[in-house]
Amino acid sequence: MSAVRGEWPLWEVFVRGKRGLNHVHVGSLHAADAEMAVRNARDVYTRRNEGVSIWVVKASDVTASSPDEKDPLFAPAGDKVYRHPTFYDVPADVPHM
Amino acid sequence: MTQVQDEQELQAQFDAVVARHDRIEPRDWMPEGYRKTLVRQIAQHAHSEIIGMQPEGNWVTRAPSLRRKATLLAKVQDEAGHGLYLYSACETLGVSRAELTELLIEGKQKYSSIFNYPTLSYADVGTIGWLVDGAAIANQVPLCRTSYGPYGRAMIRICKEESFHQRQGFELLMTMMRGTDAQRAMVQESVDRFWWPALMMFGPPDDASPNTAQSMAWGIKRDTNDELRQKFVDMTVPQAERLGVTLPDPAIAWNEDRGHYDFGEPDWEEFAAVVRGEGPCNAQRIAHRRRAHEDGAWVREAASAFAAQQSAQQSAQQQEVSA
Ligand SMILES: [Fe+2]
Ligand SMILES: [Fe+2]
């Protein structure tokens, strides 16, 4: 009952700018259901051909890592410099590398 | 004890992010004053976009040609979009859209005083595009670098769209200036009415704007009101000359020493009165917004009821399948 009287749920909107690119988060909007969210997203976020495809996800369905940018979740990558190409010494005169 | 320490540490992290001109994101810790200031500023900004549709929307059905009508419709629709980008940014700070709408129609949150002036002729559509959107651009470009991530991202989208707004306005005025004497007089009359209110869009002078220093320390604002006002005047005076209109301020003159145009002081009494709600259209604007909101209530409820029914049917079907 309260769902009927209450506010429409919040949807996060993702737009694929053109073929070959990922969908990127562009913002959010309210809509009663997924279909309406897609239609509203078209009007709010793609009035000038900003996209070729739209995803909408209920904001309450998003699972996020913990808030802080210093999240320990990302710590394992912090000391693994050997995952980057610059870690490896190759003489400057080796071609095409 | 540890809580105080934690808070100090969080504050230090926050300060460090702001100091290196990095962005604060929604789930970061932030000082309560920062959050409150942002909610007030972003909400006021969103409300301005939404209320700002009224003075121009007024003329959509009376546009002089199909081209002008399509342009005006697209512009007004953009303003609705701007309002929605900003409401969505504001909601990341933990306020709800419904709450914000309520605060607006109850008169508990403000919107830009410029929209409390009436649009009396079609020239006003041009003048608003040129001066009002022009002032908005001057205000908004530095806000693209504001310290709060969602606000900055909304501003980037908005700024991309604003240049169409300003150009269509200037083009409209130029067309009228190439027309008859009566049309030129309409443009001049319109510019006379909007010039000073446009200057007031930057807010009170710096010495009467006590919150500016804190807002700048937090990286929310990047320039003071007077700096932005000066920038706007410097950009606009040559445009007025090119257009062939006279800005209604005899004090406007190039100042070689300062490298800026001098200009007169807006009537701050008038500004204060309009902010207090005593402008020519304050009551009308809010009444219209309230009516639109209340008239739309049954649509919102019907859509919610339909959505609830659909999802109930869906889960019933799913149960059948799995049974
Ligand atoms: Fe706008
Ligand atoms: Fe605009």
pLDDT digits (tens, 9 = 90+) for B115-147: 999 999 999 999 999 999 999 999 999 999 999
Q: Which of A32, A43, A69 sits opposite B304 (nearest CB)?
A: A32
Q: What CA dihedral angle connects B255, B233, B193 and B265, to 10 degrees?
A: -60
pLDDT digits (tens, 9 = 90+) for B12-57: 999 999 999 999 999 899 999 999 999 999 999 999 999 999 999 9
Q: What share of chain B is helix, strand, coil (3-state, %, to 5)?
A: 75, 0, 25
Residue with tokens 């009467």: B208
Least confident segment among B231-245, B291-305, B306-320: B306-320
Q: Which residue has the higher pLDDT, B241 or A67?
A: B241
Q: Distance, CA B64 to ligand 2 centroid (Å)?
A: 20
- pLDDT value of residue B147: 97
Residue with tokens 């070729």: A52
Q: Distance, CA B49 to ligand 1 centroid (Å)?
A: 5
pLDDT digits (tens, 9 = 90+) for B139-195: 999 999 999 999 999 999 999 999 899 999 999 999 999 999 999 999 999 999 999
ipTM value for the complex: 0.88
Q: Nearest residue on chain B to A69, judged by CA atoms?
A: B28
- pLDDT value of residue B320: 82
Q: How confident is the model at residue A55 (pLDDT cuts 50, 70, 90)?
A: very high
pLDDT digits (tens, 9 = 90+) for B205-245: 999 988 899 999 999 999 999 999 999 999 999 999 999 99
pTM to 2 decimal places? 0.92
Q: How confident is the model at residue A67 (pLDDT cuts 50, 70, 90)?
A: low
Q: How confident is the model at residue A73 (pLDDT cuts 50, 70, 90)?
A: confident
Cβ separation of B81 and A43 shorter than 8 Å?
A: yes
**Contact A69/A47 with Cβ under 8 angstroms?**
no
- pLDDT value of residue B80: 97
Is residue A69 pLDDT above 70, yes or no?
no
Rounded CA separation B100/B92 (Å): 13
**Contact B164/B75 with Cβ under 8 angstroms?**
yes
Chain A contact residues (CB < 8 Å to B): 3-8, 10, 26-30, 32-33, 36, 43-44, 47-48, 64, 67-70
Size of interface A-B (CB pairs under 8 A): 62
- pLDDT value of residue A3: 43
Rounded CA separation B68/B138 (Å): 25
Q: How confident is the model at residue B111 (pLDDT cuts 50, 70, 90)?
A: very high
Q: How much is the average pLDDT of A50-69?
A: 87
Is residue A5 pLDDT above 60, yes or no?
no
- pLDDT value of residue A70: 62
Q: Largest Cα–Cα distance of chain A, in whole Å?
A: 73
Is residue A4 pLDDT above 50, yes or no?
no
pLDDT digits (tens, 9 = 90+) for B236-292: 999 999 999 999 999 999 999 999 999 999 999 999 999 999 999 999 999 999 999
Tokens of B19: 């100091």
What is the DSSP code (8-state) at residue A82? G
- pLDDT value of residue B137: 95
The per-residue pLDDT of chain A, averaged, comes to: 87
Distances (CA, A) of B84 to B89, B152, B285: 9, 14, 18
Q: How far is B301 from chain A (nearest CA, A)?
A: 6
Which of A29, A49, A63, A73 would you mutate first to test chain B, the one with the most B CBs within 10 A? A29
Is residue A1 pLDDT above 50, yes or no?
no
